[in-house]
Structure 1
Amino acid sequence: MPPLPGFSGNGFTSRSEAVAASKALLRPLAPYLSQGHARVKIPVTSGAHFDDTAGELEGYARPLWVVATLLAARRHHTDEADAASGELLNHWVKGLQNGVDPSHAEYWGAIGDWDQRMVEAEVISFALLSAPADFYTPLDETAKSNLKAWLNGLNGKIMPENNWRWFRVFSNLALIQVCGEDRDTYWPLIKQDLDTLDQFYLADGWSSDGIWRPAVTDVKDEGTGENAARGRHADYYSGSFAIQFSQILYTKFAAELDPQRCSIFKKRAHEFIQSFWSYFDTDGTSTSSPRSAIPFGRSLCYKFAMGAFYAAFAYAGLCDDSHSLTSHGAVKGMLLRHMRWWAAHSQDIFWPDGTLNIGYLYPNMYMCENYNSPQSPYWALKSLIVIALAQNDPFWVAPELPHPLQTTMAEPSQTSVQVVKPARQIVCHSASGRHHFLLSSGQFCVWPMKATQAKYAKFAYSSAFGFSVPTGPLLAQMAPDSTLALSRDGGETWAQRWISIGETEFRLVAVEGQSAGVTAMVSRWKPWSSANVTIESTSIPPCDKWPDWHVRVHRVRSYDPLESPFTAVEGGFAISAPRKGDNRVMQTTKLPDAAHVSLDKMDQDGMAMETAHEALVVSEAGASGIVDFSPRSHGAIARGDVMRPDPNTNIMVTKTMIPNIRHERKSWDAEEVIIASGVFAVAGKEGNSKETEARWLRRPGLSFSAQGEKKSDKTAISIFADISSQCFRS
């Protein structure tokens, strides 16, 4: 795909460069504006679950994130009002009048129950609130009446119990603040939705996208009744895509109307920023490997919208120079590094005409959701609302400060581990290994969404290696990176973690040489609802001794013997597979069972090797490997394997390999089986094979011991130095 002039390669070092990027993103849409300027239809044939008119409304509304801010900024930046840009921006002003006019051919239609139009109403309300002199004042009385009627159409309609409630809040807020409607009529409606949104709050500034499914004493009762439609997910919708973003904008536009709640939302934003920074890698410029925000959850076709929390934080004036994470320079650095990274890695995010495509780093329909129309990706423009701030605003004047990890990690080998309890995640960073990733435990989404297990229920998600989504039901089509896939019918069908049982536990795991141990996460889940099999999975993060390794331990319990073959496949990170020299996918070398994977004879273009208990892939993207730490078990066979999954399964690169350990049993007569793995990863092409090999061989070992009166009560896990680089067997 061609780069987009003005955006691709943009340095994002100043407001003028951010404005140039914003205009560059708008220009390709101009040919696809309808005659009345109320709709945009990108010429790509793909459908969403809603009607095409709503999709074309998306195309009109979502660019308003920057159209409205550019128009508002003209008040203090008259030099930016060039004729070409001014004409383009005015098209959107004209489109609003026609879109809400029931007699016009481009009328968007009345808002119904569960209607996509509800989503776009928030952006339109933002345009009214941020640039009323452009979008409301010029309208004649008929147009104003039409606009008010259209926005009022959200009231009394059924909408999901999730972030959508914010869309109605902003529509009613615009009716009061801009359209002059009666406060006594609309304020109770705003308060009702805000009371619902308050039920999503978790802790430390985090909210889930909907009410968090409660854990109950009897697990059989979990997910029943009204809780059946509720999941447990706190993702980018908790921050940049929706909830925090909307809360912060509310503090700007409703400060006089609702000062008490605005104070609460400001406090939550300042709490949220204390952990949200950790989801962003330190690298904003390097093209050696993709490393920026950690991709996780749904709607990743919104691309650089992941940084919108920081844009809103600055836009609403929440920066506070008395604290390191909230200062103008710190917030500026987090946002602009993020945008700079996307500008440097934008070679495949645009169609040839310059419009954004559906996908993450390249066009990919396997990862999209049923609510993605060709126009949906323009939600990404939320991250650019900061251009509304004047050139002399403290945000633009302040020097850009480095990533928090670059200021706090004095020792290059130090490992940073941040426990984010509200999200049930641990964010991990190895400065020397250049790898930034998170461990996740217990999140799930119950909606009938494509690739839901892949987006929420894997054990790890990486800023360098991303994650993979399935293309079909076979194992190579499922692309089981960072997960445990199980089959009880010889590989005909496979199950992975999806819905967890009970709440995630945080436990301390003993580590040799560290008095405090490390915090691990434990989740419980059932691979098959029809079988009496439960799994307790423990995820153990890296530590200073083993900065490139994390460990997973699964206690698989069966209370009914399985006569059929049982197979389990534990996957490491998916890594780019093409060789550097000729771009061919690497071939896998099988080593003798007694051997260990060594890099002594590694081809300069990479290697893929497997032994009885290990698998390792080294490519230009870095290194990804896995080692079997499972205790010996009678009747079980384990072997290292390098899988070549379907192309286009990974959201960041098109062709990957997945190192994995394959466990097989002809039948299952044991009550409990332990599957344990050490997962290794180093990102980027920096360093050399000797350094990578040393890191690969400096691995942890495991020991297991039962605690309590019954073996099934708890198993203590100890980690110790594996000096001989041998897999430990107890």
Structure 2
Amino acid sequence: MSSFPLPPEDRALSPHTGWTRAHWEAVADALLAAVSGHAGPEHALIDLPGPRPSLSGRRSDALEGYARTFLLASLRVAGAHGEDPHGLLPRYAAGLAAGTRTPTAERDLADGDAVSWPTIADRPQALVEAASIALALRLTRPWLWDRLDEGTRERVRAWLAPGLAPSPVDNNWWLFPAMVGGFLAEAGPDPDGRARRALDRGLDRIEQWYLGDGWYTDGRPRAFDHYNGWAFHLYPLLHAHLAGDRALLATYGGRLAAYLRGYAHTFGANGAPMHQGRSLTYRFAAAAPLWAGALTGHTPLSPGTTRRLASGALRYFLDRGALDPDGLLTLGWFGPHPATVQPYSGPASPYWASKGFLGLLLPADHPVWTAVEEPGPAETADHVVPLPRPGWLIQSTAADGIVRLHNHGSDDQPAGEALPDSPLYARLAHSTVTGPAHGDTPDNHFGLLVDGVLTARGPIRPLGAGDGWAASAHSPRADGAAPPGLTVTSLVLTAGAEELRLHLVTGAAPGTEIRHSGWAAAGGEAHVASGGPDTTATAVSVGPDGTRLTSTLRGLHGYTRASCGALPGGTALGEAAAVPVLAGRTPAEGPALFVAAARLTGTATPPPPPPRVTVDGPRVEVRWPGGGVHRALLAPGEVTVTT
């Protein structure tokens, strides 16, 4: 639980989380108070402690500390209509004036200059922070920008101006010049139209990545993750809202509403957002698109459901050690977890979690704060939700509140290049109670042993997602190269907590060894039980709060043995972890089809009878114990499913 005082819980208004607007304000105040002790002279740079600097260096990291906490301060003050009892804005105004006096990228903090900001031209990361500064200035304009002397305003404009150039990175970074342009076009003269062009250029560029139904890919052909919500939806919609641009609001608001219909299903009953994709250390920034929908009136969610999901996400992290003893956000998921952190992340990077406080812009009498909390989708019933654009199938069970994401369409592979698989993208499945293993034993993976090397998944080609199913194909890679003609066609079928995982291998030599792993169960301790004539392996973990998680993997066709091994490095969800694994070999003739049943559950209730599975060559029929039938036909790079 958090180490700072919080208001009493209100279980009448918030029966699921107990938290109200007052709790959000208290957390924002505590986060800002904790970082203030690390501010340098004149509050220009905030140099937070950490295990290592980012690739951009300490001065850039200290600017990040200023910019990202300024965004939080701006949401806090703007949401209070300018009331600032803690004196936040005067400190950040002083930082603006000091940091822009003699901007530099050459000096390090070690030389005693703890004031100057790096320039955008010399430190590309400064562009990211410029967007947060511009947005914060826009939100607080009546109480900060409009009260600055003209000399300071000119220096700030001059520091921001290089941020109007085309983005140096071809992904969501295009939105950073757009946000700088949106502020400069509104808050000062724009005689040559550069600011407006930067805004339009950024919005035009992200149109190239919009696939429909609320889904953007992040520059790379199939990169889908939380950036879809906390960047691609947030920035354009917030600009349209602040500018009062009804046409843009209609466009981006409609997209956000479509996105939220599926996104709401990705939060677990414990409050957890989906553990998938990069920059997970931003944590409760996952709540930003929920608030954006309520703020602009473009959401399919009721006010009570919106607050329940957002407050649940904030509590999820604060209750599980996201803050260190000094009240600072750590680099990790709960506490520090180096494997979760990207090279571009520094000690202040987690403070992009500030985006999660967007709800403070809604007045205290808004229904999102006054309505009684309502349960999230994962709490109301079992759900299976296909999301064809990203190639995902969302499966949740009300008995334990677990949400599973079956991934048959998202990877982080650039076009025409071969990169190592990222555990945060390439897995067959992700969930709200598990994290990927970052060591030598991949979880939720299907691979072949080629010259003693387990193949990677590589680029994923989605084959569709529908009623209880999702499918994809990929060309496995060994040491970065794809063996000619080798293809794996994969299909998942689901009902309740049950999963049927089917993989058709073509182009492999007879007798090639196959390995398939299941969910990694992690917690304070982990136990394994493996082997048996029915090729079944089970891993069980127990969390610090006694929460029990069971991961079972059972071979039904093609597999010949099962095992279960400990994961020495654990996962972001726990230091002790284990994963079940099946193995088999491709046959001498006939289809190389492998069928397994997987199950991830947090209940102690005995599982229902297993589904009846009939395999006839490449055809599979599944009769679920609760009723319902799936029939599937697998061919190389092609899947047909009927119900």
- Structure 2 counterpart of 1:488, which letter? V
Match of 1:602 in 2: none
3-state secondary structure, aligned to 2:117: coil
3-state secondary structure, aligned to 1:651: coil
CA spacing shift, 1:243–1:678, aligned 2, 3 Å:
same
Contact 1:614/1:626 (8 A) holds in 2 = yes
3-state secondary structure, aligned to 2:296: coil
Match of 2:352 in 1: 379
Match of 1:625 in 2: 552
- Structure 2 counterpart of 1:368, which letter? V
Hey, what's the Cα distance between the residues in 1 that align with 2:8 and 2:333? 18
Match of 1:214 in 2: none
CA spacing shift, 1:481–1:430, aligned 2, 3 Å:
same
Say whether residues 1:299 and 2:298 are aligned partners: no
> How far off its partner does 1:478 sit?
2.3
- Within-5 A mapping of 1:73-92: 73-75=79-81, 78=83, 81-82=84-85, 85-86=86-87, 88-92=88-92
Hey, what's the Cα distance between the residues in 1 that align with 2:323 and 2:251? 39
Deviation string, structure 1 residues 462-497 (Cα, Å, up to 9, x no partner): 1122322x2xxxxxx32321112332233xx32221
Contact 1:480/1:570 (8 A) holds in 2 = no
Deviation string, structure 1 residues 315-338 (Cα, Å, up to 9, x no partner): x33256xxxx33333322221222
- Within-5 A mapping of 1:170-181: 170-181=179-190
3-state secondary structure, aligned to 2:41: coil
> How far off its partner does 1:279 sit?
0.8
Match of 1:699 in 2: 610
> How far off its partner does 1:175 sit?
0.4
CA spacing shift, 1:251–1:198, aligned 2, 3 Å:
same
Deviation string, structure 1 residues 319-361 (Cα, Å, up to 9, x no partner): 56xxxx333333222212222323332x2x2233221111112
> How far off its partner does 1:103 sit?
6.6
Hey, what's the Cα distance between the residues in 1 that align with 2:117 and 2:418? 27
Match of 2:431 in 1: 462
CA spacing shift, 1:532–1:182, aligned 2, 3 Å:
same
Contact 1:7/1:24 (8 A) holds in 2 = no
Match of 2:506 in 1: 557
3-state secondary structure, aligned to 1:487: strand
CA spacing shift, 1:310–1:158, aligned 2, 3 Å:
closer
CA spacing shift, 1:113–1:657, aligned 2, 3 Å:
same
Match of 2:568 in 1: 646
- Structure 1 counterpart of 2:22, which letter? S
> How far off its partner does 1:664 sit?
5.1
Say whether residues 1:679 and 2:595 are aligned partners: no
> How far off its partner does 1:26 sit?
1.3
Match of 1:522 in 2: 472
CA spacing shift, 1:122–1:363, aligned 2, 3 Å:
same
- Structure 2 counterpart of 1:702, which letter? V
Hey, what's the Cα distance between the residues in 1 that align with 2:165 and 2:96? 23
Residue among 243, 259, 268 paired with 1:254: 243
Hey, what's the Cα distance between the residues in 2 that align with 1:617 and 1:456? 23
Residue among 319, 330, 335 paired with 2:310: 335
> How far off its partner does 1:275 sit?
1.2
Contact 1:251/1:263 (8 A) holds in 2 = no
Work out the number of aligned pairs and report it: 601
- Structure 1 counterpart of 2:593, which letter? I
Say whether residues 1:233 and 2:227 are aligned partners: no
Say whether residues 1:66 and 2:72 are aligned partners: yes
Contact 1:233/1:445 (8 A) holds in 2 = yes
3-state secondary structure, aligned to 1:63: helix
Deviation string, structure 1 residues 341-389 (Cα, Å, up to 9, x no partner): 23332x2x22332211111122111121111101100111111122233
3-state secondary structure, aligned to 1:297: coil
Match of 1:194 in 2: 203
- Structure 2 counterpart of 1:557, which letter? T
Say whether residues 1:45 and 2:51 are aligned partners: yes
Say whether residues 1:506 and 2:464 are aligned partners: yes
CA spacing shift, 1:12–1:207, aligned 2, 3 Å:
farther
- Structure 1 counterpart of 2:357, which letter? L
- Within-5 A mapping of 1:148-167: 148-167=157-176
3-state secondary structure, aligned to 1:461: strand
Match of 1:426 in 2: 393
CA spacing shift, 1:433–1:354, aligned 2, 3 Å:
closer
Hey, what's the Cα distance between the residues in 1 that align with 2:348 and 2:208? 31
3-state secondary structure, aligned to 1:252: helix
CA spacing shift, 1:138–1:12, aligned 2, 3 Å:
farther
Match of 2:454 in 1: 494
Hey, what's the Cα distance between the residues in 2 that align with 1:677 and 1:304? 35
CA spacing shift, 1:590–1:575, aligned 2, 3 Å:
closer
Say whether residues 1:535 and 2:487 are aligned partners: yes
Say whether residues 1:720 and 2:623 are aligned partners: yes
Say whether residues 1:138 and 2:147 are aligned partners: yes
Hey, what's the Cα distance between the residues in 1 that align with 2:269 and 2:472? 28
Contact 2:418/2:458 (8 A) holds in 1 = no
3-state secondary structure, aligned to 1:387: helix
| TM-score (norm: length of structure 1) | 0.77
> How far off its partner does 1:252 sit?
1.1
| TM-score (norm: length of structure 2) | 0.87
CA spacing shift, 1:518–1:137, aligned 2, 3 Å:
closer
Contact 1:558/1:672 (8 A) holds in 2 = no
Contact 1:38/1:99 (8 A) holds in 2 = yes
Hey, what's the Cα distance between the residues in 1 that align with 2:333 and 2:419? 15
* Aligned sequence identity (%): 21
Contact 2:256/2:298 (8 A) holds in 1 = no
Contact 1:310/1:331 (8 A) holds in 2 = yes
> How far off its partner does 1:507 sit?
6.4
Contact 1:62/1:120 (8 A) holds in 2 = yes
3-state secondary structure, aligned to 1:137: helix
- Structure 1 counterpart of 2:76, which letter? L
Say whether residues 1:576 and 2:522 are aligned partners: yes
Hey, what's the Cα distance between the residues in 1 that align with 2:585 and 2:2? 48
CA spacing shift, 1:721–1:61, aligned 2, 3 Å:
closer
Hey, what's the Cα distance between the residues in 1 that align with 2:40 and 2:421? 35
- Structure 2 counterpart of 1:679, which letter? A
Residue among 240, 244, 254 paired with 2:233: 244
Residue among 411, 418, 421 paired with 1:444: 411
> How far off its partner does 1:121 sit?
1.1
Gaps of 5+ in 1: 211-229, 285-291, 410-414, 471-476, 509-516, 580-584, 595-611, 632-636, 707-714, 724-730
- Structure 1 counterpart of 2:622, which letter? I
Gaps of 5+ in 2: 10-16, 105-112, 543-547, 627-643
3-state secondary structure, aligned to 1:50: coil
3-state secondary structure, aligned to 2:324: coil
Residue among 359, 372, 375 paired with 1:402: 375
CA spacing shift, 1:434–1:158, aligned 2, 3 Å:
closer
Say whether residues 1:308 and 2:288 are aligned partners: yes
Hey, what's the Cα distance between the residues in 1 that align with 2:288 and 2:573? 20
Say whether residues 1:206 and 2:205 are aligned partners: no
CA spacing shift, 1:265–1:616, aligned 2, 3 Å:
same
Hey, what's the Cα distance between the residues in 1 that align with 2:471 and 2:135? 40
- Structure 1 counterpart of 2:315, which letter? R
Say whether residues 1:390 and 2:311 are aligned partners: no
Hey, what's the Cα distance between the residues in 1 that align with 2:176 and 2:385? 32
CA spacing shift, 1:110–1:577, aligned 2, 3 Å:
closer
Residue among 453, 471, 479 paired with 2:441: 479
Hey, what's the Cα distance between the residues in 1 that align with 2:270 and 2:373? 14
> How far off its partner does 1:638 sit?
2.3
> How far off its partner does 1:449 sit?
12
Hey, what's the Cα distance between the residues in 2 that align with 1:427 and 1:28? 37
Hey, what's the Cα distance between the residues in 2 that align with 1:39 and 1:557? 57
Contact 1:112/1:153 (8 A) holds in 2 = yes
Match of 2:121 in 1: 112
> How far off its partner does 1:406 sit?
4.2
Residue among 8, 33, 36 paired with 2:39: 33
Hey, what's the Cα distance between the residues in 2 that align with 1:384 and 1:138? 25
CA spacing shift, 1:551–1:390, aligned 2, 3 Å:
same
Match of 2:94 in 1: 94
